[in-house]
Structure 1
Amino acid sequence: MAETAGKVARVLAVAVVAFPVLLGGCQTTGDSDGGGSLFDFGGSSSDDPNLTPEERALREDAEVFNETVFGGAATGAVIAGGLCALGALLGNNGGNALGRCAIMAGVGGAIGAIDGYMVAKRQEAARKQVREIDLVTEEIEAKNVKLRRLVDSSRRVVDQNRQRLEEVRIKVAANAAREDELRREKDRLEANIDVMDDTLENLRDERDNYEEVVRELRAGGQNTAQLEAQIGEMNQQIAALERERNELEAINRAVRIG
């Protein structure tokens, strides 16, 4: 009995420490390595006065995709994984069982998120007296409009970063500028890559969830052709954003300092 009580105490202690961290992770996106560049270009924030208008527009357009409509995933993962871990420890199942709990946490989170989303859509459809599939299709269509704007913003930032770096390189070669100015421009470019990376991660997760919604609706006998077409458009825009991100990375790799 004392041993069991000790195990419960240890699990609760871990939960007290981990739960705020998990919640914090659910609320934010971006790098968590604690590192930073010499110059601050706002990361995913559009408030930094050092940003150009193009970079500010990129961050504002990206902010739309920082909060997913499938927000229940993280909570579901915490609950599923936590309960499983508690059972494993109390049952003396050891490390293998705890490993399985990590898998269950991911699966439980995804299932909880999509189920919650579908329940909300059914309720909204009943109120508006429309089909739930039409609501989902309209939702993705609206996202695609914003996503096209994001791709345009990223393209302008890529062009601007390329031009700014080239101008500074010429000045440095002519001894008209110091190398720290080139370092500053490189930091600026890397901050823009970080914004695109964070947004792409969110977009891929959202796309995957919508594809699961399609499978559920199709299994229920609904015609998902229009919905799949919108997801196809989303995939095209994600690919376009990936190309702009990779173009920035290529520019970054070509920069030589020192």
Structure 2
Amino acid sequence: MTINNHFAMEIIHQLNNELLKPASDGMPVCPDELNYFKNIARSYACTEQAIAVLSDMHTDTSYIYYGKFAETLGLKEDNKTERIYSIWEEKILQLIHPDDLNSKYLQELRFFHFVRKQPKDKQSSFFLMNKLRMKNLAGNYIWVLHRLFYIAMSPTSNNLWLALCLYNPLLFDISAKGIVANAVSGQTIELKDDNDLNILSRRERQVLQLISQGRTSKDIADELYISINTVNRHRQDILNKLQVRNSIEACRIAKEMKII
């Protein structure tokens, strides 16, 4: 299985638009800072025997560190470290059950919107954890714990810079599809479908619902007693917030997220 599911590709496109943003001044990040976070990822791989993936959003590059758990999945690497020119670790992602892969992308999108609403100095305190089925060396699906941390913002802009993904054996069950944990307070928050309602305003949801019914901008303006210009502004705001290219994609993503 490769990443060719249409819905998954739409979510990836949306996440790319949200995540892949260079530093605002175009200056490269100090290598010492990057090396500091590389060492953190390497430490997780060594101490937890995890697969650790450090993704650099400014350069669309990932650094993968293979702990011994990688051997269970048939991903043993002689040098235990790999650099790829993408924030999507396809060699790992292709082992995930297709249903769980779609869910993973959806939860990551929800988590991104959740983190973006937090104070900047608190954002790195939160992480997402969910369970996935992944193929092991024998070709059987086993349960795996996946964790996602947004560990660093750009020192030169307000954009996300580094994300860290960890893959370990699932040692305890997680009932929810996605749980956000605060590593400082210990508080946990279940990412439910109703969390998605905050992504769009009430009026934007109304407009998108009518768009999904095939209504024209004039029809929507008459229905909601607003101008066509206002409808068109709502249309553009919806595309920007969902980071999609057209209304068809917006409707499909919104229905999957139960926004409409």
TM range (shorter): under 0.3
- TM-score normalised over the length of structure 2: 0.23
Structure with bigger gyration radius: 1
**Structure richer in helix, relative to its length:** 1
**Structure richer in strand, relative to its length:** 2
- TM-score normalised over the length of structure 1: 0.23
Q: Which has the higher contact order (CA 8 A, sep 6+)?
A: 1
